[in-house]
Amino acid sequence: MISITLPWPPSVNHYWVRTKFGGMTIGRHGKAFRAESLRLIHGYKIPSLGNARCDITIDVYPPDKRKRDLDNILKGILDVFSHAKVIDDDSQFDIITIRRFEVSKPAGRIEVTIDKINEQLERRR
């Protein structure tokens, strides 16, 4: 099982930006989130899970009480684990749980737990 606390991510509306040619690219907020998250993941020396089928639980502690759609922060979080080579591809997440908790000032945080699905089944036996 992997557990890590990540910084508050930008919403999908700020993670991706349009290029002048009509395409999409990661914007400066997305790049900053990715860089900080990669630094944390590599600092904790999180092992690779390869191509294992996984369950991810994301506990969200927003920075303030503004209304937020939780699905708008999901993509950046999932992508960072494949970019960090913890998993081969974010399509490996078969179970995704996202839960909102109380505000965490000043900047908010995300607590992530990833588990291989077959290891969960083994523990239940």
Q: How confident is the model at residue 12 (pLDDT cuts 50, 70, 90)?
A: confident
CATH code at position 29? 3.30.1330.70
Average pLDDT in the chain: 90
Q: Is 43 within 8 Å of 5 (Cβ atoms)?
A: no
pTM: 0.86
Please determine, for residue 69, whether its predicted confidence score (pLDDT) is greater than 80.
Answer: yes
Structural domain tally of the chain? 1
- Give the residue numbers spanning the domain of 25: 2-124
Half-sphere CA count of 103, side-chain side, radius 13 A: 9
> Could you tell me which residues come within 8 angstroms of residue 23 by beta carbon, excluding any fewer than 6 positions away?
none
Q: Please tell me the least confidently modeled range out of 50-54, 111-115, 116-120.
A: 116-120
- pLDDT (0 to 100) of residue 31: 93
